[in-house]
Structure 1
Amino acid sequence: MERTVPITTTNQPIKDEIIMKQIQATHAPDGREVDVKPLLVLVEDILHCAEPSIDGVKQDSQAKRTNSLEDMTHNAGFNFMPESFAYDIHRISCELSCKCSGTGGDAKAAIMTIFNTLSSYTWDAKVVLALAAFAVNYVELSLVRQFCTTKYHHLAKSVSLLKNLSDHNMENSSILQPFFKLVKTMLDVTNSIVKFKELPTQYITLDTPTFFMAQSQTIPTAAYLTIRSVVACATQIVGLTVSAGSSYESTISSMEVTELSNTHDKLKQQLCICYKHIDERRSLEAYKTVVNVFETIHMDNMKILTTLIYAKDDKQLLFDRLKETKQKVSIDVLRGKIVLLLISDLDISKEVLEILEQIYNESDTQYYEVVWLPIVDRSTPFNNDTKEKFDKLVSKMPWYKVCDLSLLDRSVIKYIKEEWHFKKRPLLVALDAQGKVVCPNAIDMTLIWGSKAFPFSSTREKDLWMEEPWRLESLEDNIGQDIIKWIREEKYICLYGGDDGEWITEFTKKAISVAKEANIPFEMVYVGKSTPKERVGKIVGTIKKDKQLGHCLRDLTSIRHFWVRLESIWYSKMQRGKTVKNDEAMKEIETMLAFNSSDQGWAVIFKGSKDMIKANGKTLLDCFKTFNWGEVKAGTIGFLPAIEEYIKKNHTAHHCNSLSFSVPPWRIPEMMACAECVCPMVKCTMYQCCTD
C-alpha cells in the first residue's frame, strides 16, 4: 500500500514514490565540487536572528548572534557569494513568491521547478540553496515584525499596511509555532545532509552499506521532504498577507513536521554508523602506523617516543622527576637513553610502586630513565575522580610521567594491549637507546635484581638467572643481611607464615624448644601473608616485643614486598618455561605460594641455601611434639631428615593444595602442576571479601 503525503497548499494527495521518481529524473550533477557549508552558516544565522525561537535562543542573545555573523561567515570561508548561487537563489525566491500565492498556488509545480532549477547541483547544495531562497523571503516578514517594537515602528506599520499584514496573525503563536518547528527541523535535516558530504572519502565509500543506503535513498528523500517543507513555509508566509483582517489557520500539519523529524532521526542514525566506520578505519590505519614505527630501525629513540606520547603542538609532554613540582619538560630529555616504560592503569599497587621507587632512588639513572604511561578507558570522558587519581599517582612518582591522560592515542593503547599484552598487572617495557624493544616486560627482572638488571634486556635476564640461580640468598633484600651470615654459619633457618595468632605463638615456642633439645643453631623469621592485614600486624608487634619468639620482617610494607618479589621470581621463571617438573626452585617457590593461599600456618626450614623441608603448620607442629629429638642431638639422624621421615610416615594420599593470584587470568598458565604430587591442578574462579 503506497503512503500518500498531502501538500498543504492544495489539499491534494501526492504519491511519494511517483514524485520521488520524477525528482530522481531531474538529478544530473555536473561534477562541480561546491562547498555549501559557509552558505548554510549564513542561512542559519539569518533565520536565527530573524526568529530566535526557531532554536530556543532567548531574545537577549540575538544581538550576540548578529554581532558574530561576520566572524562566523569569515571563519567558514564565506568571503563572497558565487554568481551562480546568487542567480539560482533569486530564481527560487521568485518561484516561491509566485507559485505559493494563496489558493492559486501549486505546490507540486513549485517543488518540481526548484528541482529542475537545481538539477546540476548535488543533493546537499539543492537543499542549502532552496533554504537560502526561503530565508530571503522570510526575513522581510520577520524584520517588519521586529521593527514594530522599535523606534522605527511607524515605518514598520506603513510596510505592514502595504504588505497587508495583520497584527493579530503576526503575533498569533498557534499560527507561528508549527511554522517555527518546521523551519528548525528543515535546518536540522540540511545540516545532516551536509555532514554526509563532509565525510572523508578515503575512509568511507559506496561499498559501505549504510553510506550507500543514505546516498541512494535517505538523502534524496530528505531533500524532497525539506524542499516540500520550504514550499509549505513559503505558502504560510503568503497566507499571512492575503488573510489580513480575517481569521487565518496554519497550513502546516503536525504530520509534515513529524515526517521530516523522523527522516532527520534516520539520517542521524546513519551518520553515527558512518562515523563509527570511519573511526574504525582511522584507528586501524593509526595502529598500522604504530606497528610500522616499531618494526623500523631508527637512529635514536625520538621517533618511537613521539609515536607513543603524542601532542600536535606541545613539545613539553612530561612532568619532571621531582615529586613536589609539576614542572613540564621536553621529551628530548630521553634522547639517546635506555628508557623503561612503566605501563599501568590508575590502580597500580602501592607495593610495586614502593619497590620500584626504592630501586630507582638507589640506582644510577645517568644511563636510563623511567617514564610512566597511564592506560585509562577512553570510551568515556575523564571525570574528576579519574583526574584526582592521576594527580595523586604523579605526586608519588620520582621519575618522568606524561603530563596529561589524553597524550596516549587509542592506537597506542591498542598496540600496548595487543603487542605487549597489557591487561592489569603493570608492565616495564625496556627500550634501548635507538628505541628498540629489548624486553617486553622487565617488571619481574627489576623487582628481583633491581639495578643489577641494567640494561634490562631479555638477554640480561637470562644471564642473571645463570649467574644467580634462585636460592635462599635471593631473598636477602627482603629479609636482611643477617640471612647471609646465618647461611655462612650453617644455621637452620625457618621461614614461617599465616595469620593464626594462637598457632604462631605455640609453633614458635615449640620450635625454639625443639632446637634447644636437638642442640642445633636455629633462627626463625616470620613473613606473614601476601595481603597482610590487622591480624598480621598484631603478630609482628608481638614478635618484636618478645625476642624469644625469633625474628620478623620489620613491618607490613616489608611483608608485602617479600611476597611481591617472590611472585616476581615465580613469574620470571614461568615465562622462561620453568615448571615444578623441570625446576626444583619452582617447586619450592610454588609451595610457599600455595601455603600463602591457605588459611593455615606453614613453615619452610632451610640448612645452608640448598637443603630444605616444608610442611603445613599442623603437620610440623605435631612433628615437633612427638618426635624424639634426642636422636638428633646424639647424631643418630639429622634435623631435616628427621622431619622428612616423620612427614613420610604420617603422609596420606589426601591433600588439598591451592594457589591464588590477584592478577589477570592471562598471567596464569593454562596448566599448573601440584607442587606436592605433580598432578595437573584444576583451575577455579574465586571471589573473596575479607574484613580480617
Structure 2
Amino acid sequence: MDQLQASSSIIPFDSTETTSEENPFTAPDEKISELIIGIHDAIGAKCDVEQLFNAVSNVIKSSVNISNLERPKNAELVEDTCDFMPPFTTLKEIACEMTCKHFNKSTAHQTIVAILEKLRSYTWDAKAVIALSAFALDYGETWRLSHMKLADKNTVKLHIFKLGEEEESNEDHINLIRTSVEDTLKLIEYIIELEKTRADLKICVRRNVPTLQATPRELYTYWAILALLACANQKFELDWDMRSEVFKMLKFAVTRVNGDLTRIREEIASTRDLTWRLEVINSPSGILQLLKALIFHEDTQVQQLEIFEYTSETQAKPVGANELKRKNLLLFISGLYNIEEHISVLTSIHGELKIKNYQILWIPMGNKYDEAEKKEFNERRSKMAWYVLQDLFEIKGRKLMETEWHYMGKPMVVVVNTRGEVVHMNALYMISTWKMEAFPFRTETEDKLFQNWKWFWKPITTAYKQVTKSKLIDEKNNYILIYGGTDTTIIQKFDSLINGIKKASIGVKDFNLQKACGNEISEFWKSINILFLSRVQRENYEHDSILRDIRTVLSFENLKGWAILSQGKKVLVLGDYNVMIEALQIFKGWKVSDQKQEFVDYYKTTKVESAGSPCHEIELSNVNSRIPISMACSEPSCHLSMVIDVVKYKCCHGQASDVNQA
C-alpha cells in the first residue's frame, strides 16, 4: 500500500502557480473566455455528438444507482451504437489528466487547458462530450467498488489499487458526486442543443437572435470540464469545500445556459413570426390575410377575426369575413390617450366614406393592458361608429408596424385596398388638413393638393376667419402681404410701410397674423407642422421643393419678423423681415401694377447680396422618432446641414409637466 501511495506522488504534473486571472474560482467570465478562445479551431470537425452523448450518458447512468435518473435496460445499452468515436489514446490521455493529477485551485485551469489543447479541432459541444467519454472510462468502475462490500479480500485489494487508499465511503460525499454528475449531464446536453441550434439556423436568421450571438459557448464547455475534474479526481485527498464550490458553479452554469436557451427559442420564434408577417404585407393575398398578419396569431382562422362594428355605445355586431374582404380600409393605429382630436376628424368623414365602400378600423396599441387601460379603451371605443376590436389585447404585429410602417406611438392612418395593398402609408395629416377633399387618399391626390401653395392657403383660410370673411385671396390680381413675428416693433414697421403702399396703390391687401386670436395662431402653426410631417415621410424628401417651402414657412414661427408676398394665390417672394422691410422702404410709393416685377427682382437681388439673412431654425413638437430627421437649411444662400440642437420630452398625462432638454 505504501508503494502504491508512493507511486502516485511521482505522477508528473505542472505545479506552476496559477495567477488570479487564470483561477476559475476568482477570474471573471470575460477573462476565462479570453484565455481559452485561442485554443479553439473555429472550423472544427463536425461529428454526431448526440449519438456519442446518448451512448456515454447511458453508460454513466447504468454504472451507479442514481435514484433520480432512470437506469436503462441492458438491451438499451446494447442498442447504443455510435458512428463517431474519438481516438482511444486521446480518451486515455484526457482520463489521465482527470484522475492522475492533483486537482486544486492552482492547477484546475492548467488541467482544463491541457484537455482543450488535445481537443482543439473539435466543436465546443464535441469537446464536452469527449471529455465526458474520458470521464466514463474510470467513473463507473470506481463507483461500483465504492458501493461493494469490502469483506472480500480481493475486492479490498482492487479497491485500494483503483482508489490509491482505503477509506470509508461517506454517504454525503457520494450523494454530492451523484447529483453533480447529473447536473453535468444536463449542462452538456444543453451545450449540444446550443450548438445544434446555431448550426441549424441560417446566418441571416442568426443575426436576429442576439442571445445566440452573445452566449459564451466556450465558457459552458470550460465549466463542464471543470465539473468532470471535480467528480473524477479521487486518488488524492481533496478539499470537499472546494468541490462544493465547483458544484455551486456548476448549478449556476446549468441555470444560466437553460435561461439562454429559453431566450433563444423565444427570439427564434419571434424572428420566424416576424418573417411570416413581413411576407404577408409585402405580398398580400387579400385584406383578411393582411389583418391577420397585423393583429392576430398566425394560427387564427381568417373566418374568426374578432372585429366588430358599433351601432351605438353599447350595441355591436360582428363583421363577417365576406363583408371585410370587400372593404377598402383606413387603419387608424394609435395609443389610447390624447386621440380625441383625431377621432373627431375621422368621425367627420366617416359617413361619406361608408357610401364609397370605405371603412375605418381602429387598431389600439396598449402598453400595460391593465384595468386602467381597458377602461380607457372602452371609453374611446364608445365614441367610434366604425370597425373596432372586441377587446384590448396585445397586437401581435406591433413589431412589424414599428419596423416596416415606422409606427412610433404617434397616431397614423394607413390606407389599404381590398387586395390588402397599402395605398398610402399615413394619410392622417392629409385627412386632417383636407378632409374628403383628399379622397381617395392616394399619393397622387396628395401631390395635387400640395401644388401651387394650396398647402399654405388651406390652413390659413381654415385657421383665420378674418381671411375667409374678407375674401382676401379671392381676386387673382390682388397683391397680398401676409406678415407676422414675435417682435412688436418690427410688426409696427410692417404696418406703417404697408399702409403707405396701400394709399398709393389699388389692389394691395395685407394681413397681420399677430392680430388674430391666440387660438387661431396656434392652429395655423400646428397645421404647418402637420404638413411638414406628412411630406417628410416620403422617399427622397431631401430633394422635395414643396417640402423646402414648407420648411421655410415653418421656420418663421419663432422669427422676430417675416413676410410673404403673393399675387392672388401665387406666392412671389417670402423671407425674414430684414430684406422685406428694406424692399418695402425703397418701393413705398409703389405702383403695384407697373412695378411688380421690379419689386420682385429688387427683393431677390438684395436678399442674395445681404449678409444679414439668418439661417433657418425649426422646432418640432411631439415628434416620435428613434433617429431625428436630417435636413439641409432651406435658406437659399446656405443649404448646409442643420444641427439638431434641442430635443424635448414632454409628458402630457399629468396636470403639470416638466420639459427635459438634451
Pick the TM interval, shorter chain: 0.5 to 0.7
Q: How many pairs align?
A: 491
After superposition, give the CA deviation of every residue in 1:592-635 in whole Å (9 maximum; x if it has no partner).
12323x432222132311143323235445665x45644538x7
2:556 equivalent to 1:595: yes
Report how far residue 433 of structure 1 moved.
Answer: 1.0
Check conservation: 2:187, 2:257, Cα contact below 8 A.
Answer: no
2:635 equivalent to 1:680: no
- Distance in 1 (CA, whole Å) between partners of 2:599 and 2:452 is 33
Query: Which residue type is aligned with residue 565 of structure 2?
Result: I
**Structure 1 counterpart SS, 2:591:** helix
Check conservation: 2:484, 2:561, Cα contact below 8 A.
Answer: yes
Partner of 2:395: 407
- Distance in 1 (CA, whole Å) between partners of 2:317 and 2:251 is 47
Partner of 1:653: 610
Identity of aligned residues (%): 16
Cα distance change on mapping 1:448 and 1:628 into 2, 3 Å: closer
After superposition, give the CA deviation of every residue in 1:94-142 in whole Å (9 maximum; x if it has no partner).
xxxxxxxxxxxxxx9xxxxxxxxxx9xx99xx9xxx9xxxxxx9xxxxx
Query: Which residue type is aligned with residue 509 of structure 2?
Result: F
Check conservation: 1:444, 1:572, Cα contact below 8 A.
Answer: no
- Distance in 2 (CA, whole Å) between partners of 1:688 and 1:206 is 41
Check conservation: 2:531, 2:550, Cα contact below 8 A.
Answer: yes
Cα distance change on mapping 1:467 and 1:687 into 2, 3 Å: closer
Q: How does 1:28-43 map to 2 (within 5 A)?
A: 29=54
Partner of 2:401: 416
After superposition, give the CA deviation of every residue in 1:207-231 in whole Å (9 maximum; x if it has no partner).
98969768976557657868999xx
**Structure 2 counterpart SS, 1:254:** helix
Cα distance change on mapping 1:358 and 1:445 into 2, 3 Å: closer
Cα distance change on mapping 1:180 and 1:674 into 2, 3 Å: same
Q: CA RMSD in A?
A: 5.9
Check conservation: 2:401, 2:407, Cα contact below 8 A.
Answer: yes
Counterpart among 416, 422, 430 of residue 431 in structure 1: 416
**Structure 2 counterpart SS, 1:486:** coil
**Structure 1 counterpart SS, 2:353:** coil
- Distance in 2 (CA, whole Å) between partners of 1:176 and 1:559 is 85
**Structure 2 counterpart SS, 1:524:** strand
Report how far residue 285 of structure 1 moved.
Answer: 2.3
Check conservation: 1:471, 1:609, Cα contact below 8 A.
Answer: no
Check conservation: 1:344, 1:425, Cα contact below 8 A.
Answer: yes
Partner of 1:157: none
Query: Which residue type is aligned with residue 682 of structure 1?
Result: S
Partner of 2:575: 615
Partner of 2:653: none
- Distance in 1 (CA, whole Å) between partners of 2:457 and 2:224 is 75
- Distance in 2 (CA, whole Å) between partners of 1:458 and 1:478 is 25
Partner of 2:328: 338
Cα distance change on mapping 1:474 and 1:388 into 2, 3 Å: same
Cα distance change on mapping 1:176 and 1:600 into 2, 3 Å: farther
- Distance in 1 (CA, whole Å) between partners of 2:361 and 2:412 is 11
- Distance in 1 (CA, whole Å) between partners of 2:600 and 2:580 is 8
Q: How does 1:130-169 map to 2 (within 5 A)?
A: none
Report how far residue 295 of structure 1 moved.
Answer: 3.9
- Distance in 1 (CA, whole Å) between partners of 2:517 and 2:550 is 19
Partner of 2:544: 579
Partner of 1:245: none
- Distance in 2 (CA, whole Å) between partners of 1:673 and 1:554 is 29
Partner of 2:527: 562
2:440 equivalent to 1:455: yes
- Distance in 2 (CA, whole Å) between partners of 1:221 and 1:319 is 61
**Structure 2 counterpart SS, 1:365:** helix
After superposition, give the CA deviation of every residue in 1:557-585 in whole Å (9 maximum; x if it has no partner).
623442234425643787578534xxxx5
Cα distance change on mapping 1:342 and 1:629 into 2, 3 Å: same
2:248 equivalent to 1:261: yes
Query: Which residue type is aligned with residue 614 of structure 1?
Result: L
- Distance in 2 (CA, whole Å) between partners of 1:488 and 1:293 is 49
Check conservation: 2:566, 2:572, Cα contact below 8 A.
Answer: yes
Query: Which residue type is aligned with residue 685 of structure 1?
Result: I
Report how far residue 482 of structure 1 moved.
Answer: 1.3
Partner of 1:486: 472
Partner of 1:632: 591
- Distance in 1 (CA, whole Å) between partners of 2:441 and 2:539 is 18
Check conservation: 1:603, 1:617, Cα contact below 8 A.
Answer: yes
Q: How does 1:455-534 map to 2 (within 5 A)?
A: 455-462=440-447, 472-473=457-458, 475-479=460-464, 482=468, 485-490=471-476, 491-501=478-488, 503-504=490-491, 507-508=494-495, 511-512=498-499, 514-516=501-503, 518-520=505-507, 522-524=509-511, 526=513
Report how far residue 431 of structure 1 moved.
Answer: 1.8
Partner of 1:77: none
- Distance in 1 (CA, whole Å) between partners of 2:606 and 2:53 is 97
- Distance in 2 (CA, whole Å) between partners of 1:184 and 1:556 is 76
- Distance in 1 (CA, whole Å) between partners of 2:175 and 2:333 is 54
Query: Which residue type is aligned with residue 653 of structure 1?
Result: S
Cα distance change on mapping 1:522 and 1:446 into 2, 3 Å: same
Check conservation: 2:479, 2:568, Cα contact below 8 A.
Answer: yes
Cα distance change on mapping 1:425 and 1:27 into 2, 3 Å: closer
Check conservation: 1:344, 1:374, Cα contact below 8 A.
Answer: yes
Check conservation: 2:308, 2:317, Cα contact below 8 A.
Answer: yes
- Distance in 2 (CA, whole Å) between partners of 1:606 and 1:199 is 70
After superposition, give the CA deviation of every residue in 1:29-63 in whole Å (9 maximum; x if it has no partner).
35999xx9xxxxx969xxxxxxxxxxxxxxxxxxx
Query: Which residue type is aligned with residue 54 of structure 2?
Result: P
What 5-or-longer segments of structure 1 have no aligned partner? 4-23, 37-41, 45-80, 89-107, 109-118, 131-136, 138-174, 230-250, 377-381, 527-538, 544-550
Check conservation: 1:344, 1:375, Cα contact below 8 A.
Answer: yes
Report how far residue 263 of structure 1 moved.
Answer: 1.2
Partner of 1:233: none
Q: Which moved more, 1:585-594 or 1:186-195?
A: 186-195
Cα distance change on mapping 1:515 and 1:305 into 2, 3 Å: same
Partner of 1:303: 289
**TM-score (norm. length: structure 2):** 0.55
Query: Which residue type is aligned with residue 683 of structure 1?
Result: M
- Distance in 2 (CA, whole Å) between partners of 1:290 and 1:668 is 27
**Structure 2 counterpart SS, 1:262:** helix
Query: Which residue type is aligned with residue 288 of structure 2?
Result: M
Query: Which residue type is aligned with residue 643 of structure 2?
Result: C
Check conservation: 1:428, 1:440, Cα contact below 8 A.
Answer: yes
Cα distance change on mapping 1:451 and 1:389 into 2, 3 Å: farther
Check conservation: 1:214, 1:267, Cα contact below 8 A.
Answer: no
